[in-house]
Every structure is written in C-alpha cells, then in structure tokens.
A = this chain, B = another copy of it.
Amino acid sequence: MRRTSFANWPCSVARTMDLLGDWWTPLVLREAFYGIRRFDEFQQGLGIARNTLSDRLRRLVDEGLLEKRAYQADPVRYDYLLTEKGRDFFGVIAAMTRWGDRWLADEAGPPITLHHDRCGQDTDAEVVCAACGEPLTAEDTDMRMGPGYPAKLAKRPDVVQRFAR
C-alpha cells in the first residue's frame, strides 16, 4: 500500500510522520528506550515479523535515529544504538505515554510508571512552554508562519485564511 508522502509539507508533524512510516517504528524506538539493542530482542519484545523489523531498523538507521555497531566479528553481529537524534525522540514517546495513561488506561491504572532518577520521584511527562515554563495548551498557543514556510504558498488565500484565525 503506497502512502501519501508528507515529507515535503511545511509542517514538522507531517515530516515526522513521514519519517516514521508506520506505527511499528515508534514501538521499535520504545524498545530501544528500554535498553534493547539486538535484533532478536527487538523481535521477541514486539512479536514482529523479522522482515518487518529489518525494514524498520534499516529505516531508523538511514534516518539517523539508530546506529549499527558490530559487537562480534565472525559471524558479524550488530547492535542498534540510539543516536542523539533518536534519544531526543524520547520526549514525543513520553508525551504520548502521558496522554495514553490519562485517557486510555483501565481502572487498574497505567501499565507503566515513569520514574525520574534525577529527582527520585515517580512522575509523568508534562509539555511546557520553553520560554515561560507554563503548560502549553491548544487554547494558549498560536501557530504562525515560521522562517521556513515556503514563500510560494504564503500568499495563497486558503493559507492566509488558515493563519488569520
């Protein structure tokens, strides 16, 4: 099934989604955040078909979120390690976890607890404004044309109207 490509949309959400490709990819990253590094462990943890896993790992390596490192020479075997770009995706996973914990958990409560080693407390992710530190909500936030918005689109009536709301 061919997907629409979102890679060239002037929207970081669309670009991020295009890179991820499908829902397995964030789950492969989730495994990496648990400390999983080897193909067989990813495979066991996710119950994913080997060819699907190969494909998603290759994509994450190509896009620079994981790097392959040989840990054995003969036969050669690889670890998959998070890069800085990959580690930085943790915020997205943490924000998604918080939303799912809040809205999708059953009466027993969230399946996983996040523990913040640095402060020693069980916690949740909170998404805040980098400038003032207050929670960032849809009501308080405007999306405006940024420096990278394509000039050829900026004057189209539907685009002008979108940003005028």
Enumerate chain A interface residues (CB-CB to B < 8 A). 1, 3-4, 6, 10-20, 22-23, 26-27, 30, 33-36, 44-45, 47-48, 82, 85, 87-106, 108-119, 121-134, 136-150, 158, 162, 165
Contact = CB atoms under 8 A, between A and B. Distances in A.
A48 B27 CA distance: 26
Contacts of A35: 165
Given A92-B95, A138-B33, A112 B15 contact: no
A111 B6 contact: no
6 contacts: A45-B162, A92-B99, A112-B149, A114-B141, A115-B144, A119-B134
Contact of A16 (B10, B16, B96, B108): B96
Given A91-B95, A129-B116, A129-B118, A106 B148 contact: yes
Contacts of A15: 100, 104
**Oligomer copy total:** 2
Contacts of A14: 27, 30
Contacts of A145: 111-113
Contacts of A91: 95, 98-99, 125-127, 136
Contact of A112 (B11, B20, B33): B11
A29 to B, nearest CB: 9
A61 to B, nearest CB: 15
A144 B122 CA distance: 9
A16 B125 CA distance: 15
A124 B97 CA distance: 20
Contacts of A102: 88
A92 B158 CA distance: 26
